[in-house]
Structure formats: structure tokens, C-alpha cells
Amino acid sequence: METSTMTVETKPKCEIIDYKGRKIVFTDISGARPEDAIPAFERTTVLVPTLGEKGALSLVDAKDARFNTDLISKIKEVVKKNNPYVKATAVCGLSSLTSLMVNSIITFTGRKMKLFDTIEEGKEWLIGQ
């Protein structure tokens, strides 16, 4: 008997969400391959400036995302470009290894950024900034 498997493809995305009356730029790369995550980070350079200088709160869900040197380079580039507009960034769902990579990005860019286990924890921290 033949069985078929249905694959649900995760599409990385970047959008502005509302959380308790605050606008947050939400970049969802959960489960993404590096080449699929890059366009989502590029989109932040369009959305983030619309919230004004130091007006953007940024949330990244990176649970089960895969990283490579191209993606890390793109993230560093985008973080630097968006720095004048971002007040704070919460990154959620990282493994120990990817946490080390993100900590190097924090050091490299000087961004106010904090790591969280869950999206809810990240949102709560962001609205307190």
C-alpha cells in the first residue's frame, strides 16, 4: 500500500504585528533554511524605518532555523543598517550553539538585544522597553 506524506513548508516572513497596543517588527524564520531566511531579514530594512528613529521593537523567532555564514553575514549587515531605528530586539528559540552566534552579532553591532526561550517572553520584554 502506498502512503503519501504531506509537507508543510515554513515560509519565513517579516511583518509588523500589534502586541498590547505596541507595534513590533516580527521576523519569523522558524524552521527555515538559510537561503529562505535571508529575504525575511532584507524585508526588515523596509519595515523598520517606517517606525521612526529608535521607534522599532524587533522580535525574531529562530526556533529550529538553520544558519550558515551567508545568513550570519546578512543578519550583521541588516542589524547595522537598522540600528538607528531599533530600540530593542528579542530573539527567541535559539539552541546553545546559535545563541553563541547571536551573542557575537550583539557584540559586533552594539544592538540592545536579549535572548528568550519563547515568543511570549520576548514580546513581554519588548513592550517594557
> What pLDDT, in 10s, does the model give residues 75-127?
989 999 999 999 999 999 998 888 888 888 888 788 899 999 999 999 999 99
Q: What is the pLDDT of residue 18?
A: 97
**Is 51 a member of any domain?**
yes
Q: Which domain holds residue 66?
A: 13-127
Prediction pTM value: 0.88
Q: What is the pLDDT of residue 106?
A: 82
**More confident site: 61 or 6:** 61
Bridge partners, residue 90, by sequence: 59, 114
What's the CATH number where 55 sits?
Answer: 3.30.750.24
Whether pLDDT at 4 is above 50 = no
**Is 8 a member of any domain?**
no
**Is 76 a member of any domain?**
yes
Cα 89 to Cα 67: distance, rounded to the nearest angstrom: 19
Count of structural domains within the chain: 1
Whether pLDDT at 63 is above 60 = yes
Residue where the block lists cell 528613529: 53
Q: Are 90 and 59 contacting, i.e. CB atoms less than 8 angstroms apart? A: yes
**Is 4 a member of any domain?**
no
Q: What is the pLDDT of residue 11?
A: 79
